[in-house]
Amino acid sequence: MVTIYGGAVPAPDLPDRLVDGTSIRLPGVGRVTVLVFFNAMSDDDLSVVDGLMRLREEDRDAIDLIGIHCPRFPAEKESRRILSILDCAGIDFPVYDDSRKTIRKAYLINRWPSTVVVDPTGALTWAREGILPPELVRPVLKSMGRTARATGDLRPGAQQRFVWSGRSFLPLRLAVEGDTLAVLDGREKRLLLAQLDFDGRSAVLKRSIPMDRPGFRSCPTGFSLDSEKIYVADRGSESVRIFDRNGREVASYSGKSSKTNLVGPRSFGAVRDVVCRDDMLYLASPGTRQIWVQSMSGGGARPFAGNGGGGMDDGPPLTATMGQPEVLLSYGNLLFFSDSGSSSIRCIDPSTGKVTTLIGEGPSLYGCRDGIASKALLQRPLGMCLSGGSLYIADSYNDRIRALDVRSMEVSTVYGDRRWQRLFSPSDVAIRDGTVYVADLGNGRVVAFDERRGEPEVLRISGLS
């Protein structure tokens, strides 16, 4: 579409309710309005959203952002499911649910992400489908802003910011090490270190490590621990950040293309998770659909597994394909990862880079089915832990904790299939001395239960505010 100010085609009206049910009437004229059609769980889509948010900050007096959420999984049509995810992603502009595709049809959008610009007169001005760098959109917005100021069409003022879930605590990831419970709070962008009581059903907050710093937009998505350091995957800064146990940041590795730290033609971009093995950082890079490895001794970063193509093909690094690698787990001589894009659980042999699928039937097959691992179905699996010969999985969109018996290769549901076991979009799971801890993201809490009886309790964290 050619950029035309004051064109003849008016922008279609938007609904009067946002994704959380809030009634709203947005200004139809007087603003440079950018509509972004996206899915909040897609890393490609979020990269477009991040770029548009940076452009909005360059001219806050003129630019408004509006999101149109396009569900991919059936569970995402339950709009309240994505509220906590919007908060964790730092999305603070108005978002509409388009489960019925009415907005996409009105704007003639065939795929997402897509970006549409509406000028201050309310006319459609510019549109593109696909992943766009901010540099492509910036001149369009600058031209709109200059013209609107010159013609007097602009109504200056910063856009209202939104908080979606209404929860002050959103446990995104968690881990247990001895009597220490570590929780990544996606709402406040902080890592919490708490000491568990003797019974494991309550904890006392010992340290809160903030991820934000002045002039720096953080969006932490995953972490791992060792005896001395904490490794954090920060999607907002496209980097891996390393902290000591006192919360001091001691190092970082950038995912942006750089001749000084990159081996090869590309960067690992915005990573979702990180684990450390043998002085090497293994990185889940959904944007490149690969697992990368970053040397901590000056050797640079390189793709480790996956050829960059979308799919669920197993095999050596150069032939394996991935959907959206999300969460990593290092255990023994294997590296496990949840491929949320293909609703599968897979593993890598670090000595060869060979990829093997453990659970999942195909890149487009999802559901909720127990049984033989090769026939079992998940729906957007996330965090994992291994205990007693079973791999426990946070099956996010099925609201369940599933378990894979690594000896029999049978999948079963261990929590969430009974009415009194209410989870909502669980995002991670950990086990200590027979107690299972679940990051119940959608409900904004950590749940603990005995792996034998399954009686749930909300974990009390004293000092949490």
3-state secondary structure of 85: helix
How would you class 101 by CB atoms within 10 Å of its CB: exposed for 0-12, middle for 13-18, buried for 19 or more? exposed
Task: With cut-offs at 50, 70 and 90, classify the pLDDT of residue 266.
Answer: low
Q: At a CB cut-off of 8 Å and minimum separation 6, what does 214 contact?
A: none
Residue 1 predicted with pLDDT over 60: no
Each residue's pLDDT tens digit, 419-446: 777 899 999 999 999 999 999 999 999 9
CATH class of 32-151: alpha beta
Q: At a CB cut-off of 8 Å and minimum separation 6, what does 50 contact?
A: 236
Of the candidates 406, 362, 369, 365, the residue with the CA atom closest to the CA atom of residue 384: 406
Question: What whole-number percentage of the chain has pLDDT above 90?
Answer: 83
Each residue's pLDDT tens digit, 316-349: 999 999 999 999 999 999 999 999 999 999 999 9
Position 115, amino acid: T
Task: With cut-offs at 50, 70 and 90, classify the pLDDT of residue 265.
Answer: very low
Residue linked to tokens 């669980």? 426
For the chain, give every domain's residue range: 32-151, 171-462
What is the DSSP-derived secondary structure letter of residue 4? -
Q: For the beta carbon of residue 338, count every other beta carbon within 10 angstroms.
A: 30
Domain 171-462 CATH (choose: 1.20.810.10, 3.30.230.70, 1.10.3710.10, 2.120.10.30) = 2.120.10.30
3-state secondary structure of 138: helix
pLDDT of residue 170: 98
Task: With cut-offs at 50, 70 and 90, classify the pLDDT of residue 54.
Answer: very high
pLDDT of residue 327: 98
Residue 57 predicted with pLDDT over 60: yes
CA dist 265 → 262, 285, 303 (Å): 8, 15, 10
pLDDT, average across residues 110-116: 96
Q: Tell me the β-bridge partners of 395.
A: 381, 400
Each residue's pLDDT tens digit, 372-406: 999 999 999 999 999 999 999 999 999 999 999 99
Phi, psi angles (nearest 5°) of residue 113: -70, 150
| Rounded-to-integer distance, Cα 422 and Cα 415, Å | 9
Task: With cut-offs at 50, 70 and 90, classify the pLDDT of residue 454.
Answer: low
CA dist 147 → 4, 83, 137, 154 (Å): 11, 36, 16, 9
Handedness of CA 258, 336, 38, 19 (dihedral sign): negative
pLDDT of residue 456: 82
* Mean of per-residue pLDDT scores for the chain: 92
Residue 299 predicted with pLDDT over 80: no
pLDDT, average across residues 61-73: 97
| Rounded-to-integer distance, Cα 233 and Cα 219, Å | 9
CA dist 280 → 252, 273, 300, 301, 421 (Å): 13, 14, 10, 10, 39
pLDDT of residue 261: 41
pLDDT of residue 298: 77
What is the DSSP-derived secondary structure letter of residue 106? H
- Strand 280-285 versus strand 381-387 pairing type: unpaired
Phi, psi angles (nearest 5°) of residue 44: -60, -45
CB 327 within 8 A of CB 334: no
Task: With cut-offs at 50, 70 and 90, classify the pLDDT of residue 262.
Answer: very low
Each residue's pLDDT tens digit, 140-176: 999 999 999 999 999 999 999 999 999 999 999 999 9
Task: With cut-offs at 50, 70 and 90, classify the pLDDT of residue 263.
Answer: very low
Position 156, amino acid: P
Residue 260 predicted with pLDDT over 60: no
Helix (H) / strand (E) element for 184: namely strand 180-185
pLDDT of residue 5: 76
Residue 6 predicted with pLDDT over 90: no
Residue 257 predicted with pLDDT over 80: no
